[in-house]
Structure 1
Amino acid sequence: MKKYLSRLTTRTKLQLAVVMSIALVLIPVLLLLNATSTQTIVVLIIALPVGWIVSGLLTQSVNSGIQALETGLLNFKDGEFSSLLAYSAQDELGHLCQIYNQTAEQLRQEKQWIYQRELMLDKVLQSSPQALVLIDSTDHVVFSNLSANRLFASDLRLEGLTRDALYQTAHAQIKQAMESGRDGLFHLKHDSDEVQTWHLSTGQFLLNNHLHHLYIFKQLTRELSRQEVAVWKKVIRIISHELNNSLGPMSSLLHSGQLLSQNLEEPRLGRVFSTMQERISHLNEFVQGYGKFAKLPQPKFEKVAWQALLESVAQEWSFQLEGQLPKTPCYADKIQLSQLLINLLKNAHESDSQLRDITIRIEAKQSGTQAGTLISVSDAGRGMSETVMANALVPFYSTKASGSGLGLALCREIAEAHHGQLSLHNRGDGQSGLVVKVFIPS
């Protein structure tokens, strides 16, 4: 009986309660009035249906309110907060429906706010230079950004791939770093680019009661290079300051000594003063050259006219132009770009290459998702060993007896000031020589 009653609606229960109450009241009254059995049955037959009908009419609003609340709660269950309840009777159920509508409106606004935040967060994560990969407990990728696609050399989205499928297009160093499960640095060596330094951060957390692993890859090559250059610049500024403090008094004393020795007939003093003057001049040029690297100004971007720029560079160093000049515009600092080409051509001429083997190629290029201009300066010298190539861009490093070790370092500084990059490559296909590539983004 109890199980059967539990299946009845609230309205039906109320109607049954009314009918039973009528029966419980009428039967004792009829007995007190000495009504016959027939009269009692007739009264009950009339009273009970009337009570059922009247109670049904009175509880109709209750049924409507309960149905409205049930529909609303089902909407909540499905995550739908935009539907409001139309029940507006001035009773307790109407008050509950009003509270429901207020709650639904608040939840709808919060859902829209969270949705906007998710869009913003997704935009930030997708445009982040750091590569992000999230893998669930079944070893499937559930989230990745565009930087991760580039890192894993995939043209398609990584979501849905298993961990093993993810490793198929990745470098062995990436797999080794991820499998180690530790935070730390690792290096990627590309066929056409310099060695890149990356940092991997790992973490794990529960999402929907399932363990997820997060991998964050950050490229530190440029940051380490920037810090290295900053240290060298500080050293250079200190050295230049100390040399300037000494060169000024030395020049003054030298001039005074030359004046005092004019009346002395001592040819050796002339040679001494001449040597001192030569060394002071050399030191001045030395300080000025290093100061140019330490105090490189911010580039002034303007449209580059390649033909005019190359003609001015050709007055300093000769070269052969390969291919056609690009038609797409390039914006850069003409003075700094000219200095970069002069330094690279100077190195090419000092590599004992023939004039016909010293070439410049300028072409429009796409580096990843970034469009720009690629400048390649080639020679036919001996090229560079791995040791020399690893240190060639470090200030003060030079394999030449009279070299300052600043030419390539200054070129790299100019390229990075233009938000580009410089890389060194030995020529392949059985040819000896070096190719210096400079990419300047549009």
Structure 2
Amino acid sequence: MQQPLAYRMRPRTLDEVVGQRQLVGEGKIIRRMVEAKMLSSMILYGPPGTGKTSIASAIAGSTRYAFRMLNAATDTKKDLQIVAEEAKMSGTVILLLDEVHRLDKTKQDFLLPHLESGKIIMIGATTENPYITINPAIRSRTQIFEVFPLQEADILQAIDQALHDKERGLGEFPVTLAEDARLHLSRATNGDLRSALNGLELAVKSTPPQEDGAIQLTRAIIEECVQRKALTHDKDGDAHYDVISAFQKSIRGSDVDAALHYLGRLVEAGDLAIICRRLMVIGYEDVGLANPNAASRTVNAVLAAERLGLPEARIPLAQVVVDLCLSPKSNSAHVALDKAIADIRNGKAGDVPNHLRDAHYKGAAELNRGIGYQYPHDFDQAWVKQQYLPDKLKDKHYYQPKMTGKYEQALAMRYQQLQEWKKHK
């Protein structure tokens, strides 16, 4: 049986890796390790279909080391022993260990000395946060790199490569892929390249050719093969982004009916990941300090939606959309931060005042570090007048409170009180 298209199109060198340029691009960490022949074990973590296995395969191809693949959950200690024996006989082996977070203690204890010696270079792959789920003994012997969902341009590039590659791809098939179908394929899988390529292969091999022999792939065919409907009939392919934009702007504008309409479109398109991410942003960007509990409720609703999956996910999503729509709004916190970042980027940072500098090392006092710092908890109201900003910014004010919610009204009163104390105490 022929391997799936996504498997056949795995990159053979780093130059063939699609996306993840922050790791494999020119001058980036994994490329440097390969070019310097200084590979070390690593853990790649991120969503499915984002290139973890592809990076491991490309590293092996670029270094000419043997490449083996195991699963920490299903493969046994004996399987690890076979890899270790191969490493002893033939030199270094690159081991892609999928679901590395499920490595039990017996397998871990066997693997550790081989990682120490460098005979086995482990590339662990996981969708779980390794700082939480990976045993410290393994974590301390690896470098941890995060991979991200691929961008639309990355998936379009991979689709085009697969359609033209006659050796590993679909180049032998006379395929005509309509542009709106191509765009939908790049967007509907939410950055999961494996799903996009396997959906494309299913479409090609299950669509009868026309009388002239050509295989015409329409958007309707792609929708069926990836099981995601397009948002609207939009020949320019902008509807996807237009609906997401209208969704956030409707919530920001407190129009609950419009927001539910656009939520319905996104639910029908199956874009759960996009909905969840956008709601998290809205909770903090648009509601913010006017109602911080709404942001917390948004996080809980998103967790519930992700666990439930569609169609049931629509229930907590609808609830939180109504909540965010009808909540008071404030963007004061992130606007204040953006002003501070703008000063920093324009060279207006300045030195940290000496009395705030770290004094927890020998010789700090001789450098005047930490001298004169007053501990606020030693004073009434847990406050004492002292300078915190650098000298060149000491009179700068970034935060401008809004009076749109009871919580921020209380913060504004406290802020004003502190300003008065600074003037008169």
Give TM-score, length-normalised by structure 2.
Answer: 0.20
Whichever structure has more strand as a proportion of its residues is 1
Q: Comparing both chains, which one has the higher relative contact order based on Cα–Cα distances under 8 Å and sequence gaps of 6 or more?
A: 2
Give TM-score, length-normalised by structure 1.
Answer: 0.19
